[in-house]
């Protein structure tokens, strides 16, 4: 069986060493500090959910869709929130199409720590744009991944593109 390695996530994973739990939920912090949206990489707000960039992206345009409520399971969310999140995922793929023109997507939810959730108590979906050949040797032999655009440039492009869509 082949394995997929993501050594660029070491910084993120290492940030939890010696901690039993995350002291502050970065999603809740972003939600409650709208004046810091740019610093928090938050690109869109909706009634029940937000869209933010992943601080440790697998590719340019890697987004997180998360409910405003601090809940760890789909069942804990209202039907309205679940429906909105699905529509926001749809909008997010359109936005990424507009900005990056990927050839495909990975859309995923890691529900619970055992499933790999780095933030198990605040549900979030990952939207990862993909291109043929987008993983290459540098991540394996050099312990880094090439992201061809700054986080700030990506944030500004995505934030602008979200203004064209409504839920």
Instruction: Examine the residue annotation and report whether 124 is marked as an active-site residue of this protein.
Output: yes
Topology classification of domain 7-162: HIT family, subunit A (3.30.428)
With a cut of 60, say whether residue 107 has pLDDT above it: yes
With a cut of 80, say whether residue 17 has pLDDT above it: no
Mean pLDDT of 149-153: 88
pLDDT for the residue 111: 84
Whether the Cβ atoms of residue 140 and residue 81 lie closer than 8 Å to each other: no
Element spanning 109, H or E: strand 104-109
Reported as a single tens digit per residue, the pLDDT across 121-139 is: 999 999 999 998 776 544 5
Reported as a single tens digit per residue, the pLDDT across 51-101 is: 999 998 888 999 999 999 999 999 999 999 999 999 999 999 999 999 999
Whether the Cβ atoms of residue 63 and residue 51 lie closer than 8 Å to each other: yes
Residue located via tokens 């998360």: 66
Count Cβ atoms below 10 Å from residue 145 Cβ, excluding itself. 19
| Buried b / exposed e along 51-77 (16+ C-beta atoms within 10 A) | bbbbebbbbbbbbbbbbbeebbeeeeb
Whether the Cβ atoms of residue 58 and residue 128 lie closer than 8 Å to each other: yes
pLDDT for the residue 137: 47
Domain boundaries, the chain: 7-162
Q: What's the CA gap between 139 and 71, in Å, rounded? A: 33
| Dihedral angle over CA of 66, 67, 73, 75, nearest 10 | -140
Mean pLDDT of 9-16: 54
Q: Which of 29, 62, 122, 124 is catalytic?
A: 124
pLDDT for the residue 19: 54
């Amino acid at each position: 069986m082949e394995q997929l390695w993501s050594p660029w996530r070491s910084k993120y994973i290492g940030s939890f060493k010696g901690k039993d739990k995350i002291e502050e939920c970065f999603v809740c912090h972003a939600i409650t500090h709208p004046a810091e949206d740019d610093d928090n990489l938050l690109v869109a707000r909706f009634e029940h959910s937000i869209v933010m960039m992943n601080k440790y992206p697998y590719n340019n345009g890697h987004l997180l869709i998360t409910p405003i409520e601090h809940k760890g399971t789909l069942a804990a969310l209202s039907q309205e929130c679940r429906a909105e999140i699905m529509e926001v995922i749809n909008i997010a793929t359109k936005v990424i199409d507009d900005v990056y023109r990927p050839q495909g997507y990975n859309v995923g939810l890691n529900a619970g720590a055992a499933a790999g959730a780095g933030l198990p108590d605040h549900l979030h979906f990952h939207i990862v744009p993909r291109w043929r050949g987008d993983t290459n040797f540098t991540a394996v032999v050099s312990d880094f991944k090439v992201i061809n655009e700054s986080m700030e440039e990506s944030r500004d492009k995505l934030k602008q593109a979200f203004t064209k869509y409504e839920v």
